[in-house]
Each structure stands twice: as C-alpha cells, then as structure tokens.
Chain A
C-alpha cells in the first residue's frame, strides 16, 4: 500500500487521475474533455493543487466536481488535495475537446458550434439562434429549437422533425 502511494505521488499520475473524473451531470464527459480542468500541480510534500473553472456562474455541479476530485485523488494515494477556482478567463463551450464532442454525440447530445465573440455592444437578437445541427439520433438536419434553456444550465432543447425525438444541444457560450 505504502509503495503504491509513494509511486502515485507524481505529477503525471495526479494529472491522469484528475483528468479521468467525470462531469456529474454529463458523465460521458471527463472534466478535461469539458474544459473545466484548468491545471494540476503537485506541490512540496505531495500536496496536489487542482484548478477548475465553472461552466456557468450558478452551476450546482461545481461542488460535486470538487468533492469527486478530492476523493478520487485521495483514493489514488494523494492525502492532501486542494481544489481551487479559476474565474478568469471565463469558460467557453469552445473548450470542449474533440473527444468530448464525440462522447456527447455518442450519447445522443448535440455538441456546441463555435461561440460568438463581440467587441462593443452585443446586438439584440429577436430571432431564435440559428444553428446548423443534425439530430444526434437519426442525423436529420430538419430540427426545431424548443427552448434555449434546458435541464441543465448548459443545454438548449430541440426536437427532430424527422424522427420526432427530442434532444438536447450543449449551448454555445
């Protein structure tokens, strides 16, 4: 046990453990694939410092992510784990990795397109956001936006007019 714990006290190992922790609301995504994991460091004495950033200001999953990181790293032999919050730069859906996008699609969720960027005042948009999406179930591009707000802060609701199934789209932000 002691040998394993000593062996585990290395940066690559801590990074690998932290990178494998999954999002509590979208468990097909690791925190790394989601772009929430911003850094892993091992300080003097084997203390691990993990930095994460919230997706949305009020995302209730943050507390769970923090707990999961601490427990998984402790199970891997890191006795002291600090989870820190990084507010800047603000999370963007652009940070979801290609592997994360594939995992979303494999689980029936539509991945976000590129987030828009603005200099100066943000123009008002009266029309529903136009996105070129395909239904993650049947591949039809004949889809309707039901709502820009969904079951979690990061998702919009769609329905496919081809297969008639509803699906969720991870919003651009």
Chain B
C-alpha cells in the first residue's frame, strides 16, 4: 500500500474505483455473466420436439423463478433473522434452478426467447425472465399468489416443495442430460426446503391458538391452487411420453401420502375446498394468470425493461 502522489491521481468516475484493485471484472460490482450451460451438451435427444422441450423447461423454470421472487419479498420482513435468511436461501436455490432451466429452454428452441434491441447484452435466460409478457409465462398459479402471512407462505412452500421434490426425483431419469442434471441437483436442495416447510407447518399447528388459526386459514387459502400442480398439460404429457419429462399426475399419490403424514402429525384436517377454476379450462401452464401475477411481474421486470441495453 502506498500513498498516491497527488499530482498523479487519475480521473475517477466513481469513489469506489480504488476498491477494484485494478481488476474491473471484480464480482462485487457486477460481472458479465457467462452462459450457465457453457460446455454442457445441450443437444436435444432424438425424437423430442424442440418446442415442447423448451416449453416444458419454461414451465419448470417459471415455477422456480416466480416463487423465488415471492420468497424474496420476505427479505427483511420475516418474523426473525433466521427465517429471513432461510427464505432468502430457498429463493436463491430456486433462482439458480430457474436460470439453468430458462437457459435450457433457450438452447432447445431459440425462438422462445423474446427479441431485444440489436446489441443488447442480456443473455437468453435474462431475456426470458425480464422481457416476456405475462401470457408467455407458464408457471402454475400457486407460486404467484400473494405471500400473505408467514403461515400462508409455509403452507404454500409445503405444497410446492413436496410436489416439486417428487417430480424432480423422477426427472433425474430424463433422457435430456441437462434436465436430469438440474433435477438431481434440485432434489438435494429441495429436501431441505420441504423439511423446513413441514417443520414450520407442524410448529404453527401445535403452537398457539393464534398460530394454528392462521395456519388453517393459510392452508385453505392455498389449497384451491393445489390441483393445478397435478393436472397434466398436453406439453407435459408429450414430453413424458418422449422420455424427457414427467407427467405430474403420476406423482399425486406419493405427494398425498407425504401431506397426510404432515396433516396427521399436525392434527390438521385435509381441506375440502374446490380447486380454483381456469378460464375455459386454461390455467397457469397455458399462460393464464391471476391479477397478483401482473403486479409481481411488473416489479420483477421494470428495471430491466427500462434499460434493455444495460449490463448488470
């Protein structure tokens, strides 16, 4: 360390310049993210429709992206610091899964990626996350609904992570090497997510009268969105048949057994609430979303859309 000669102080654009130590790629101030699938074989397996595979990856990727965004809204608002950190960690795992899945969608069929101004540095997965309109998102509606209180968030996380863990366990056998690898990694991460949600479910149910009241109310608010997880979209049926995807209806029994276990331990009755109807049977997987989604998406996308040429 030496004191700079005042006569040779270079012109600084930013007071932080000196922190870079001469390396302007320093990560803390942004780095140009490279392809998360660099060096990964992204050849589409024989007999698989490229558009179907891309759409399927968008479905699974959008589920993760949207729930990640929702969970991130707890940041600095959770009941205590440990829960704040836990929810941010879960959101980060899901964001990582989303990034890989959206990148895989773009590699399988580049036509799903929205067109950006010439020379925009946004990588395909960012273009998919930040520049698609609501109708092009394929996530289930369960992940987009408002966080509600902590009990609502835990009820949703339990339903989602129990379902997704069972689905990803089967997806590890996908003929698509990217999907099978993303799934194998996701299984390890989501085991922590599911157990976290189940423990909180039990704790709230067996806690105080107030915590139990909130949990019961949170579960019945979330339950109508559960059925959509298990109803197979045509694309899901086709990719399952082609050996690259999983028909979600095939995990329903396994998930039910696990949920019954949580309900029984918690002394909570399985809700009897009708599923939320679609519009002419079209739901989240078809791009039809609830009002809450528009607001979430606006918040997620506003900065990127204002600066399509921006580097982050």
Contact = CB atoms under 8 A, between A and B. Distances in A.
Majority secondary structure, B binding face: helix
Contact of B194 (A56, A124, A149): A124
Q: Indicate the member of A91, A148, A149, A153 with the most B CB atoms within 10 Å.
A: A149
Interface string A26-70: 000000000000000000000001010010111110111011000
B226 interface: no
Interface of B: 23, 25, 27, 31, 33-34, 36-40, 82, 85-86, 88-90, 92-97, 99-100, 165-166, 169, 177-178, 180-182, 184-189, 191-192, 194-196, 198-199, 202, 254, 258, 261-262, 265
A148 B197 CA distance: 12
A26 B255 CA distance: 37
A71 interface: yes
B31 to A, nearest CB: 5
Given A67-B27, A149-B82, A121 B166 contact: yes
Interface string A117-160: 00001101111100000000000000000111111010001000
B55 to A, nearest CB: 21
Nearest to B254: A121
Interface of A: 24, 49, 51, 54, 56-60, 62-64, 66-67, 71, 82-92, 115, 121-122, 124-128, 146-151, 153, 157, 171, 173
26 contacts: A24-B27, A57-B93, A57-B97, A57-B99, A58-B92, A58-B93, A63-B33, A63-B34, A64-B31, A82-B38, A83-B34, A86-B40, A87-B40, A87-B100, A87-B178, A87-B181, A87-B182, A90-B188, A91-B185, A122-B169, A126-B198, A149-B85, A150-B85, A153-B92, A157-B85, A173-B188
